[in-house]
Amino acid sequence: MKTSAPDVIFCLMFAVAASLSSFTCCRAFVRPVLASSSSGPTTSTKRNMIANILDLLGGPDKSEMVSPDEALPGRSQKMANIEGLRHYVLGNKLEEVPPNHEVAVFANGCFWGSEKGIWRLPKGIHSTAVGYCAGFTPNPTYEEACSGLTGHTEGVRVVYDPSQVSFVDILRWFWEAHDPTSGMGQGNDRGTQYRSGFYYYNDEQKALIEASKAAYEKRLEEATGTKRKITTEVAAASDYDKYGGLWYFAEPYHQQYLAKPGARPYCSAQPQGVAVPDYDEWCPFEDEALKEKHRPTLPASFWSKYAPKRGCSVVTEPNEPISESSY
């Protein structure tokens, strides 16, 4: 069989990287671009994988945030083919925010599984999307975000109807679906692009995020008997206006990836199997109207059956939203 020089280099570099046991597993090795060809990696895929292997062998220190001055310059052009794109499962346009709907943006590890957990909530979710948030480079690409040189973390944007599903329900799923004490990474995915974060659009969201964070940190310590400091980044969406904005949509092939034919069921999130305390124990609002406004809509029966389980089981769950009649 005739083998080209680039193929030889690619295989040798992959073998060298795989033999270095001191490195954690890189998601790039198991994260393919969906393609119809089954004949092997494309030139573009090989190039991206080689870049990631070189990263493993010695690249930027992804355990430290890049400074805004040192971040990649980015571009003015928005991500191609997002305009008009519809949610693969829910059918609604990804960019639209209908009247009386609100937006939540968070990051808790690989965005594939993070997104799926939210779109499966039984009611009130208009759309979910994956993208790059809380960074300094305008309109980054996946490869740029993975380099650690844009400052972004992989995130999920949720457009929801607060009359149907509470922000507190989304917040609870966020906390329970990952390990918020793991610093710059989640499971095998290490680097600033996998850091945990929740980004607020108003003072009420801020109060709820901060109060639930304190309550969950205490509950984690009680459940494990060890000190568990939550490292989740909490910041205002407006903090990133000077960098072009908080949120940038990821490439279309990443959107609802786990629902698409040929997708690999990859997830490195580390749910702790510990429930967020009851809302009334940590609600930050003394005003009864505000307290009731944000009261959870999903009942205890939902959480007892469908709460995130240790081992990131969301990847094996059905793609369709959970039926209200099932709990």
Q: Specify the pTM.
A: 0.84
Q: Compute the distance between CA of residue 127 and CA of residue 67 in angstroms, rounded to an integer.
A: 32
| pLDDT for res 54 | 42
Q: What is the mean pLDDT of residues 149-154?
A: 98
Q: What is the mean pLDDT of residues 89-108?
A: 98
pLDDT at 89 > cutoff 80: yes
- Amino acid letter, residue 292: E
Beta strand segments in the chain, E: 102-107, 125-133, 153-160, 185-186, 189-190, 197-200, 233-236, 247-249
Q: What is the mean pLDDT of residues 102-115?
A: 97
Query: 31-47: per-residue pLDDT in tens?
Result: 444 433 333 444 334 43
Q: Compute the distance between CA of residue 82 and CA of residue 252 in angstroms, rounded to an integer.
A: 6
Mean pLDDT over the full length of the chain? 87
Dihedral-angle region of residue 45 (phi above 0 means left; psi in -120 to 50 means alpha; beta otherwise): alpha
pLDDT at 134 > cutoff 80: yes
pLDDT at 101 > cutoff 80: yes
Six token digits for residue 324: 């209200």
Q: Residue 21 burial (CB < 10 Å; 0-12/13-18/19+)?
A: exposed
| pLDDT for res 130 | 98
Quick one: angle between helices 111-119 and 167-176, nearest 10? 140
Q: For residue 95, report the phi and psi dihedrals to the nearest 5 degrees.
A: -85, -20
| pLDDT for res 273 | 95
Which residues are part of the catalytic machinery? 110
Q: Compute the distance between CA of residue 46 and CA of residue 40 in angstroms, rounded to an integer.
A: 10
Report angle CA 228, 66, 157 to the nearest 5 degrees.
65
Q: What is the mean pLDDT of residues 263-289?
A: 96
| pLDDT for res 127 | 98
Q: Compute the distance between CA of residue 220 and CA of residue 56 in angstroms, rounded to an integer.
A: 32
Q: Which position has the token pair 């994988």?
A: 49
Report angle CA 294, 298, 299 to the nearest 5 degrees.
115
Residue 61's pLDDT band (boundaries 50, 70, 90)?
low
Q: What is the mean pLDDT of residues 283-295?
A: 98
Q: Compute the distance between CA of residue 264 and CA of residue 247 in angstroms, rounded to an integer.
A: 26
Q: For residue 213, report the phi and psi dihedrals to the nearest 5 degrees.
A: -60, -50
| pLDDT for res 52 | 52
Tell which residue, 172, 218, 207, has the closest CA to residue 286: 207
Residue 18's pLDDT band (boundaries 50, 70, 90)?
very low
pLDDT at 129 > cutoff 60: yes
Residues in CB range of 177: below 8 A, 6 or more apart: 108, 113, 114, 117, 269, 271, 308, 314
- Total number of residues shown for the chain: 327
Residue 220's pLDDT band (boundaries 50, 70, 90)?
very high
Q: Which residues pair with 133 in a beta bridge?
A: 153, 247
| pLDDT for res 313 | 86
Query: 182-214: per-residue pLDDT in tens?
Result: 999 999 999 999 999 999 999 999 999 999 999
Question: Could you give the residue ranges of the DSSP H alpha helices within the chain?
Answer: 5-19, 43-57, 111-119, 142-146, 167-176, 203-224, 279-282, 288-293, 300-306
| pLDDT for res 312 | 82
Report angle CA 134, 110, 64 to the nearest 5 degrees.
50
pLDDT at 10 > cutoff 70: no
| pLDDT for res 39 | 38
Residues in CB range of 186: below 8 A, 6 or more apart: 108, 109, 110, 178, 179, 194, 196, 268, 269, 270
| pLDDT for res 215 | 98
Report angle CA 54, 59, 60 to the nearest 5 degrees.
150
pLDDT at 60 > cutoff 80: no
